[in-house]
Structure 1
Amino acid sequence: METNILHTHKELVEKSKSGDRNSQYQLYELYVNAMYNVSMRMLGIKEDAEDIVQDSFITAFKNLQSFRYECTFGSWLKRIVINKSINHLKLKKIALAPLENHEYYICEDINEPIENMDIHKIRAAIKMLPHGYKQIINLYLIEGYDHVEISEILSISGSTSKSQYHRAKKKLIQIINTL
């Protein structure tokens, strides 16, 4: 029996669309922890992440009629959480430093083998990154967005996304080496 991943939890989604509170609660229970983790990686503050997740679920349930199974419900919800997290950071005026008007050099020969490092060390180093770098690292490495998607999400150019990522990676390796 072949299943279509885009229709994961379709029955719950359809019942939720019709206003079934029990189905909405079941969807909430299925996704709340994952969405909290996404927001927490972006914001780094427990209370802010909790608020963003609650607000994201409210937004998702209010706009559920617009969900058309072009992606999974989880990825649709994740996009809402990421956008709300980024908007929250923008409200706090924690923005990416625009690099288009600056000279910068990217060293491509970083020979440090990250795969052999302790995951706790890497997580600690990510937390120590400046917020703009942390956003890029989270979106690119952890959430799996490409630079085109990141440029759309953050309203920056693709080249800024790429250069911020390379600078963030270099800074991350420097921090890891000092831990």
Structure 2
Amino acid sequence: MKIFNLNSEQQLISQCQKGDTKAQMTLYKKYSRAMYQVSRNIIKDDMRAEEAMQDGFLSAFEKLGEFKAEVTFGAWLKKIVVNKSLDYLKKDKLYDKTESADNLKLIDDEIEVDLTEKIDAVKKAMNELPENYRIILSLYYLEGYDHEEISEILEMSYANSRTMLTRAKSKLATLLN
């Protein structure tokens, strides 16, 4: 396994910007497994997750001139893959934003679930959740996005993001019990 340092990654990106397919393949190999997992956390179907991930890479390579290195390449790529995955859900009519800020009630009690002890049960239960709950849990806990970022990605208010996460945690806790 090659070890990449910041300079070599910057060189790879520079080569990709010039259309070097070997450099593109090197970046793909470096990030594809992690980006597939990002997509798979959002899309239940393995094939669709793979397609969304690959489309994310194609989009990233096409937009590489816009990459300003203000964030790491991996973080920039992850945002593209998340958005592509959400696009796939919308296209497949699997993702339905049925909850709006108007009809949500804030839930005071937060339910904490010890994910480290029940990882297999949590994965199974997450697959049983409605798409919008599974997505917000994945974005918050697995991908590390905060509510401001989630509200931007999912095009919802900050309060709606917090409320939906609370409801998703509650539903997940119910499934785990």
* Residue equivalent to 1:73: 73
Tell me how far apart the structure 2 counterparts of residues 65 and 133 of structure 1 sit (CA, whole Å).
Answer: 34
Contact 1:56 1:80 in 2 (8 A): yes
* Residue equivalent to 1:166: 166
Tell me how far apart the structure 1 counterparts of residues 59 and 115 of structure 2 sit (CA, whole Å).
Answer: 38
* Residue equivalent to 1:140: 140
Contact 2:129 2:172 in 1 (8 A): yes
Contact 1:6 1:72 in 2 (8 A): no
CA offset at residue 63 of structure 1? 1.1
CA offset at residue 117 of structure 1? 2.9
TM-score, normalised via structure 2 length: 0.90
Contact 2:42 2:135 in 1 (8 A): yes
Contact 1:151 1:158 in 2 (8 A): yes
What amino acid is aligned across from residue 54 of structure 2 in structure 1?
Q
Q: Pairwise CA RMSD of aligned residues?
A: 1.8
Tell me how far apart the structure 2 counterparts of residues 171 and 35 of structure 1 sit (CA, whole Å).
Answer: 27
What amino acid is aligned across from residue 139 of structure 2 in structure 1?
L
Contact 1:6 1:73 in 2 (8 A): no
**Distance of aligned partners of 1:77 and 1:147 in 2 relative to their CA distance in 1, 3 Å threshold:** same
Contact 2:100 2:160 in 1 (8 A): yes
Q: How many residues align?
A: 172
CA offset at residue 97 of structure 1? 2.2
Q: Which runs of 5+ in 1 are unaligned?
A: none
TM-score, normalised via structure 1 length: 0.89
Contact 1:140 1:147 in 2 (8 A): yes
Q: Deviations over 1:57-114 (max 9, x none)?
A: 111111111111011111111100000111111222322322423253514153x551
**Distance of aligned partners of 1:116 and 1:26 in 2 relative to their CA distance in 1, 3 Å threshold:** closer
Q: Deviations over 1:27-60 (max 9, x none)?
A: 0110111110100110010110111111111111
What amino acid is aligned across from residue 38 of structure 1 in structure 2?
V
Q: Deviations over 1:139-175 (max 9, x none)?
A: 1111111111111101111111110000000010110
* Residue equivalent to 2:33: 33
Tell me how far apart the structure 2 counterparts of residues 62 and 47 of structure 1 sit (CA, whole Å).
Answer: 23
Q: Percent identity?
A: 39
Question: After the TM superposition, which segments of 4 or more aligned residues of structure 1 sit over 3 Å from their partners?
Answer: 5-8
What amino acid is aligned across from residue 71 of structure 2 in structure 1?
C
* Residue equivalent to 2:97: 96
5 Å-filtered alignment, 1:39-58, equals 39-58=39-58
**Distance of aligned partners of 1:109 and 1:28 in 2 relative to their CA distance in 1, 3 Å threshold:** closer
